Structures are given as structure tokens and as C-alpha cells.
Amino acid sequence: MKGIPKINRKYLLLFFFLISSTLILSCNGVTPNTNPPTINSFTASSTVITQGGSVTLNWETTGATTVYLKQQCESGVLIDTVGISGYETFSPFETTTYTLTANNNTGTVTATVQVILSITNHTVTFDSQGGSTVSSQTVEEGGLVIKPTAPTKQGYTLRGWYKESGCKSAWEFASDTVTADVTLYAKWTPLYALRDTGPAGGLIFYVKAGGYSDGWMYLEAAPSDQSTSAEWGCFGIWISDADGTAVGTGEQNTIEIEAGCTIAGTAADICANLTIIHGWSGYDDWFLPSKDELNLMYKNLKVADIGDFADGNYWSSSEYFSNVAWSQYFTSGDQYVNFKFLVIRVRAVRAF
């Protein structure tokens, strides 16, 4: 009688093992995964945000055993393991691409979302307040201003940039950030103050309140007298346009005297031909001071007991009449007219 064919015992055991394994997995609720994972959704609460804003990413996957979220931007790449489904909130400081990667034993799938950072730009304007022009800057919201090349202003030195025209609150370039259009104001201080040593080695006795104009801002007295006994000169001769008395007229007076009085060695002639070497430079732009300029020398230098002035008379360049001109007595400060042929002291000044 023919029976059931004999089966190789080894194959029979393998068959029963596979059947048993399947039954055991099924009984425990685990079904082997034979499909790659699926990303059902990967979204951002907003794809465009402003600086300082935040965005929430949401995702949902199926069939994944691990999920990675990658943040990629200009400054680098960060990868974090996250849940199969979930959400995360970020505050990017630049435009960023986020990549979600889902894995299982049969495959990998990805999805991406880009969040664009909308940058707000502001204009920074520089008001040099009388100095040379400084170009404006465009600065991102929250950014720092680049300190510009210092402007120049004749007779002044720049002390810094300020938040208001009155220059009370300094702008700190290392820490102050831009949050709106802004104007910065230059603060200037004079290069010299009263009684400072001037560039020619003399003493500053006047600083023009309105600043640099008409080619000068400061009056500097020579460091010592140029003569103890000089005539004003040209007694009896009217010198046209040499009668200026105000501050700022001494130089023109001297020019007029030199043109109308050719006698050498007069008070004006001594000043006009003076050269003083100080440091590496020579200064030959001296003149005889006007009546009011001479008085400022007295009040701002002699009274302060500086400048080696004598207790005597000094000539001004201000003519009063064809026979007389103004002088000043440096003991009392009195001003009066003297005959042009009298010999008294001379102290030259210069404007710059």
C-alpha cells in the first residue's frame, strides 16, 4: 500500500518554525512592517516671519520607527530626534529650511519647509552739524551702526556722535542697536581754548563764538614783544581804510598801512615782516592788532598775568586821525590816542 511520501525532516522543522513564529507575532499584536514610512503632513504655522518672531512646525507620520528634524541655514545644520508625530516652535534669526526625515526598516522619506525671515531695514543719517558730509547707512532691524570715518570741521575736533542735536546722549556703536530710522549728530569742540598755546607758539586770546568763518576762528598773540620802541609812522598822513577798530579788522588795517606808509620799521611794518619758527613750521602771517583786538589781549592775557606783557603802552593798527592812532596802556587797560611819532611797544597777532 502506498503511503504518504516521506518529507525531509530538516525542511519539515523549518516549516513548523516559520508557522509558529507568525502565530506568535500575530498573537502579540505585532505585524511585520513591509512598507516604507509615510509623512502624512509637515507644515509651518507661517512661512514668512519678521525678526524676533517664532514659527511652529507640525508633522504627522505613519509607519516610522524614527523621525529626525533637521534645521539648515547659513550658520549651520542642526539635527534632532523628534516624535513620530508632534510639533516644535523655533525663533530663527535668518531664513531657514527645515527637513523632516522618517525611517523604518524598509525605507526613508523626507519633506521640507522653508521659513523666510523678512528683514526690516532702517536708514541711519549722519548730521555733521557744519562738518564735512558723511554718507548714510542702511542697517537691519536690531543691527549695529558702523562707525563712519570722522568728518572734519575747520577749527574743531570731533568728540563723537550723539542721539540729539544738543549732543547730550552719546551713541554707543558697540552696543546701541537700530530699531527705526535714526539721525546721529556730530559733537564738535574747538581745537583751542583761551590761553592755550597756539600753533605758532603764542597764546590764544580770542575764540570766535560763531566758529570758523572768513578764513579764521582764533586770534593768537606772538609769544613776546616785537619792539619796545616803535613809531606808528607817517605822522600827518591819512592812511585810507586803516581806521577799523573791531575784532577782525587788524589784518586789513595792517595791509592798508603797509600800502600807504612806506617807512620801514613802523609798528605795522615790523608785524607784517615778522616770521616766527615754531616746531617744524614757520609763520609769517602776523599783523598789528586793531583797537578791540588789542583790548582782548589785555583782558584775556595780561590780566591773567600770562604772555610776558609789560606795564606800558602798546600800539594798535587803528588810525584815529592823520596825526594820531589808538594805543592801550597795559597797566590800567585804558585806551587812548597817541601821536604817531611816539615810540611805544608792539605785539604782533595772527588769525587762523
Architecture of the structural domain at 121-190: Sandwich (2.60)
Q: Is 124 helix (H, G, I), strand (E, B) or coil?
A: strand
Q: Quickly list DSSP for 252-300.
A: HHHHHHHHH---TT-HHHHHHT--EEETTEEE---B---HHHHHHHIII
Domain residue ranges of the chain, discontinuous segments joined by +: 38-118, 121-190, 203-351
Q: At 80, phi and psi to the nearest 5? A: -130, 145
> Would you write out the chain's pLDDT as a tens digit for each of its 352 residues?
444 445 445 444 444 444 444 433 333 444 556 799 999 999 999 999 988 889 999 999 999 999 999 998 788 888 889 999 999 999 988 899 999 999 999 999 999 999 998 889 999 999 999 999 999 999 998 999 999 999 999 999 999 999 999 999 999 999 999 999 999 999 999 999 999 999 999 999 999 998 999 999 999 999 999 999 999 999 999 999 999 999 999 999 999 999 999 999 999 999 999 999 999 999 999 999 999 999 999 999 999 999 999 999 999 999 999 999 999 999 999 999 999 999 999 999 999 9
Please, are residues 141 and 49 in contact by the beta-carbon 8 Å criterion?
no
How crowded is residue 208: how many other Cβ atoms within 10 Å of its Cβ?
Answer: 17
The neighbouring-strand residues paired with 338 are 325
Distance CA 240, CA 226 (A): 25
Torsion, Cα 84 89 93 97, to 10 degrees, reads 30
Q: Are strands 85-90 and 66-73 parallel, antiparallel or unpaired?
A: unpaired
Residue type, 156: Y
Distance CA 101, CA 99 (A): 6
The burial of 90, by beta-carbon neighbours within 10 Å (0-12 exposed, 13-18 middle, 19 or more buried), is given as middle
Distance CA 249, CA 32 (A): 107
**Whether the model pTM is above 0.75:** no
Q: Quickly list DSSP for 73-98.
A: ETTEEEEEEE-SEEEEEE--SS-EEE
Same fold, 38-118 and 121-190: yes
Question: What's the CATH code, domain 38-118?
Answer: 2.60.40.10
Distance CA 269, CA 255 (A): 9
